[in-house]
């Protein structure tokens, strides 16, 4: 869509977040190119149905506070397997050589129901184990990230996988020849 709206798809946070607007322009041309790259996976485009959700605008607002870059958000098809998401990530690799930033906004561990603020900077052992395994796979064999769904920590780390799945796209990009991965933030 040419002018995506800011979607506030969360609850229980300060009202300032619900009032925040990120008026970045869209790019119907880039969206069409993405759909072409992902074929034969069907891509449904409806310029009035959605916009930029918090997984997109909360990150971009820190990187590009003036909302000046065109943004195309790819929604997640939760019916796909982890391997299929990784394959879709590989399909997007061509965009990088055209100067398109492919941002995969994800959380390795995202279980707000277990959040315990009394722990301070400490973390649950299972979360540290899962995070370390994800890092190991991303750094040494990104395509193997699909297998983390079989780890015993997976159900607690990603009780609803929509926050983790974008990392599978990054694994696809990182597994392409000439690509690599580095950990920028630990913990």
Q: Mean pLDDT over residues 162-183, rounded?
A: 90
Rg of the chain, C-alpha, whole Å:
17
Residue 121 pLDDT exceeds 90: no
Residues 6+ away with beta carbon under 8 Å from 1 = 26, 28, 31, 47, 48, 51
Q: Which of 76-80, 102-106, 108-112 has the lowest mean pLDDT?
A: 108-112
- Characterize 90-104 residue by residue with b for buried, 16 or more Cβ atoms within 10 angstroms of its Cβ, and e for exposed: bbbbebeeeebebbb
**136 close to 169: Cβ distance less than 8 angstroms:** no
Per-residue CA distances from 170 to 8, 26, 46, 107 (Å)? 24, 22, 25, 12
- pLDDT tens string 33-87: 999 999 888 776 665 667 898 889 999 999 999 999 999 998 888 889 999 999 9
Q: What ranges do the domains of the chain cover?
A: 1-75, 106-187
Q: Quote the pLDDT of residue 46.
A: 60
């Amino acid at each position: 869509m040419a002018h995506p709206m800011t979607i506030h798809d969360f609850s229980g946070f300060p009202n300032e977040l619900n009032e925040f607007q990120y008026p970045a322009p869209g790019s119907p041309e880039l969206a069409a190119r993405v759909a072409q790259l992902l074929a034969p996976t069907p891509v449904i485009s409806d310029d009035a149905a959605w916009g930029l959700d918090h997984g997109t605008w909360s990150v971009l607002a820190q990187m590009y506070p003036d909302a000046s870059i065109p943004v195309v958000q790819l929604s997640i098809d939760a019916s796909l397997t982890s391997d299929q998401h990784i394959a879709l990530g590989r399909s997007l690799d061509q965009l990088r050589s055209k100067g398109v930033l492919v941002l995969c906004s994800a959380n390795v561990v995202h279980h707000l129901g277990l959040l315990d603020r009394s722990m301070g900077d400490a973390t649950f052992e299972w979360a540290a184990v899962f995070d370390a395994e994800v890092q190991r796979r991303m750094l040494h064999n990104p395509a193997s990230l699909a297998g983390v769904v079989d780890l015993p920590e997976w159900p607690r780390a990603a009780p609803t996988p929509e926050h983790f799945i974008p990392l599978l796209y990054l694994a696809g990009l990182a597994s392409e020849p000439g690509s690599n991965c580095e950990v920028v933030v630990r913990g």
